[in-house]
Amino acid sequence: MEANVDLRQYASSYVKPDDVREGPIVTRVVNVTESERFGRPVIELETGSQFTLNESNTSTLIRAWGHESKDWIGQELELSLGTYKDWRTDKDAETVKARAISPAKTESGNGGTASKPPLPAPVSRTASLADDLDDQIPFILVFFIISAITWLVAGGSALIA
């Protein structure tokens, strides 16, 4: 009698470009964790492999399934070979690209229409920087102070245009 052995323990645990070179992998998400080493989401797949998400893949899956990791469990996705421009070498490099296959889970009572929860408001670094650099009032005050000093140095009797 032959024993059934789960051979996934002997395979590479992370999906890499070589794993999708011959064709895409279609699989389901069984868990989502955060990598302690890289501070990025890691999806555990029903194939037994794991896939660390870069910003682009994370954004793709958030658009498809929402921003809550619990909503990703059971969702089907395709992992395929992609490329990106490596900014250090200015050459094309290979990567694994994620594409959601499953639609967003439906909420009960909404007629069966796929529902995506709204994303939280993004933190706008540009807006806060613009607020910090808003110098309308200080510029006016500096202008009046310099004008007053110039007027006093000029003798204080003539107006400066």
**Is 60 exceeded by the pLDDT of residue 158?**
no
> How confident is the model at residue 64, as a pLDDT?
93
Give the model's pLDDT for residue 109: 37
Length of the chain: 161
**What is the average pLDDT score of the chain?**
79
What is the predicted pLDDT for the residue at 21? Answer: 94
pTM value is 0.59
- pLDDT over 50 at 152, yes or no: yes
Q: What are the domain boundaries of the chain?
A: 7-104+113-120, 121-161
Closest CA to 51 of 29, 68, 81: 29
Integer Cα distance of 39 and 52 in angstroms: 10
In the sheet with 91-100, reading across from the earlier edge strand, the strands are 50-52, 41-45, 25-34, 76-86, 91-100
pLDDT digits (tens, 9 = 90+) for 67-120: 999 999 999 999 999 998 888 898 999 999 999 998 876 554 334 445 455 555
